Structure 1
């Protein structure tokens, strides 16, 4: 009897195993478990840099490493965004893998890769390098933050220079309190918003110094006063410009102490693409109607400014004042030297179309991205 029971048990076990084996061959969960995986380890990178793996930003552990499992044979897309002022030199698995975007194929062994970055500012060139006052200091009450606040801007022929340390001092034996070193932002501007002078006086001058590409830079502010009594405060209203362009200070109300000299700047629009685009249903060629590039130029200021005809001028705040920049469309300027043309391709419901080929005259055709956009840069 015991022997019989054992035979029945063993037969049942064989049957169960056979059933499980049959399920495994068609069970997607079992198939997924059967796939071979390998670890990808990204080592020795600082969290100041941004790295994404298959579209997801990763963060290093306390040892500076990151790892995850991937199916053997699958492709892994790596995108690197170095911190401002740093340069990505490449991945150590291939001397040619120095692009910001690259793809690797996972092998059956665990893979460790390491990115390399330079340890200093990217050499963006010293040609045209200059530092100038962005915002002048204004007359200030003793013990309060210097009016303005004072700011400088660093640029070269390629545009604003980010990541440069600027030091401020004062041309006197006075103590200047506050943050003495500021770093230029993405617009090349370093702003000193907490400087304080604790002694009444006239004709103070701030000195700003920096060094970039082994070139020393210096600019001195205009003279300003520090007074004991509370100063009258006046409002400068910058109205919306007439025509197309931007102004500094921005459109709106700005308060300044009595006697503050405010710098004004007007920059006309250089023109944008003005056209209508349509795509066919199979995402083929995209045709446009006539391209029109409107150009604008600065005409004059309205208001009590120092020089109405100059795009860069000043206004002295001794009362509430209102100014407005006037831009006029310049019919004589047909085309700029170069400009960027952006195409947006959508379907009938307004949804962006990715992968559409766009042609613009004799230029090399471009393909739209996931947002349906593509850009022809520096079109002559």
Structure 2
């Protein structure tokens, strides 16, 4: 008997344990649910982790996000669902719902370094370092000392201009140096050095004497399979023209630079809507260069495929090609199907009609839908409600279909109107002042009378009923006349 009771007791405990576990499971919603993090591609200036695309996580997962700016760029901010989230490059995101995130980068300021002058003269800006916003246009000015003349500006060791005053676009950190020469002597020497690469030059290789100030023509002829690139004067790039004019106002060291043959990549205008890199047009590459092509569709479009020289090449939006010959590239984009949302017109409150009529209506995303409400006889329009929230008190309005929406109109019965005429007899004031007023039937109106000095309040007469107090409240069930009587304390007759 005792064994039976023990078994029965253990069974009850087991059932209580199972019930408790079931309650905990249901109350904590112990369900493995996932949500999607959509990492958008940054517009420019850096990379992100997780990589651009869709990533699934268990709900309430804390996700590490990281922004890595490119050289010359700074991280600016994270935006989650198009709203500011954080300005930390590395942070966490709580995945308690579907989310879309995007990183934004901004250009770093650039530095202009003005070196000390070569020769004698002054420059502006004076030697030193200066910070500028990216793409700022900076004016350069050089003034030679007497007996000297300005020769040239060099930017990052490369010839830039022979004008004393010029402008420089700050699209990167730059080092600027000004060169001044002593005024020319009677004769100067042109030293033509052996070219870099293969080709012929004129004047020929060697030293040549010229009168100071003479202008001469430099000529470069590349060998077969080579291209002329530029002239070097004093080891600085001077000109990219095959024939270049050079003024001999001082001794000059000149060298021609030839490079191997290059090929052209012609990027055609895409089919559909989107952007391509390299940009539409002609780009030049050295023999054997590996070039990356990137196609980015516009909003509402998808990438389809690349064509190279008129033939299908790849269905990947990013590809590489080897420039072993001149080539033509074209990207193809296809339009995404339009997004459609449903407008549900709910049966109006009260009596009246609406347009669009009651029921479900579908519209393409972004459509502006006009709404109009027409009350029935004896009714008037009160308000529009969007998804149960007040939207407008105008009978005609419109909504933008950027999601599924529910709209309802409310009509109310028109109230019957009655008039109240107010007069006074004697001297004093009444409230409301004398006149005729219109009220909704059933309205309550406060009346008060205040006699002038030397007068006293006697009574209110309201449609033949007498009230002997100066302040009363009446209910208007019909057209009503109210008169306040104010008597003179002298006992004589009183004028109104």
TM-score bracket, normalised by the shorter chain, equals under 0.3
Higher relative contact order (CA 8 A, sep 6+): 1
Larger strand fraction of residues: 2
TM-score normalised over the length of structure 2:
0.22
